[in-house]
Chain A
Amino acid sequence: MSSATELTLALTSDVRELPAVRDRLRGFARGLGWNEHDVADIVLAADEALTNVIRHGYESQPAHEIHLHARRTQDAARGEGLEIVIRDRARQVPLDKICGRDLDDIRPGGLGVHLIRSLMNEAHYSHREGGGMELVMRKFRVGGADCGGRA
């Protein structure tokens, strides 16, 4: 039986949904043959992105919409990859404000974007027409299924 090459999840901004989302994404990436190291990277990056939407975009109010779409991709230069798109209707954050903070400034919070950019090869934020944010992030296999590298 062939594995699914796309995964679409319609979520709400309720943190209680996060464990199930991680399970679904973990199973999806494993089904595409990603190794456990990369699967963990992908799942944590998506979790951090969703957490940011819930906490900062929707200010922890639980009934708002979030859409997650994951798919296998093929890039001419970088080979096979996995793309995750997360869309919301939350408040729009200035794009130049979305950056990882100085890690030498040790304090709680502000690590999510740094983790996303460290765990994935690409992460692009944009404003959606009509309101809300879109994050497109991609991870590419480096050296085959059993030796994925970090960005």
Chain B
Amino acid sequence: MSEGNLTIRMETAGGVEVVALSGEVDMRASPALRSELLGVVERRPARTILDLSGTSYIDSSGVGTLVEFKRKIERVGGRVVLTGMQHRVRSVFEITKLDRFFAIAESVEEARRL
């Protein structure tokens, strides 16, 4: 699905859900992303990989949406791993110290193992 400048693609296999975010995760797109991620929580995958390799921009509303998702998925026994962060996106996580809160992998393959 798409909202604003963000496209969200999902793939599920073997208890792993890969959510690929392409474009800009801003205040406009965050409600739609939140809704999609709540759907993931309901499906209760053992592991969710958030593939940010196509994410060119994220603001605090986008980061907050991912924090909320991590809290909710862990409450139902799931695990979330971020991967593919571009330099600029990673710096937002670093400034807000959320790089310590999330598990971060360099690739989807590594995220499957973490």
Contact = CB atoms under 8 A, between A and B. Distances in A.
A112 B60 contact: yes
Interface string B24-46: 10111000000000000000000
B98 interface: yes
Interface in B69-89: 88
Given A16-B28, A18-B28, A106 B67 contact: yes
Contact of B92 (A18, A109, A115): A115
Interface in B55-109: 57, 59-61, 63-65, 67-68, 88, 92, 95-98, 101
Contact of B28 (A15, A44, A115): A15
Contacts, number: 58
B97 A18 contact: no
A92 interface: no
A130 interface: no
Tell me what chain B mostly uses at the interface: helix, strand, loop, or mixed: mixed
B68 A108 contact: yes
B15 interface: no
Contacts of B4: 16, 19
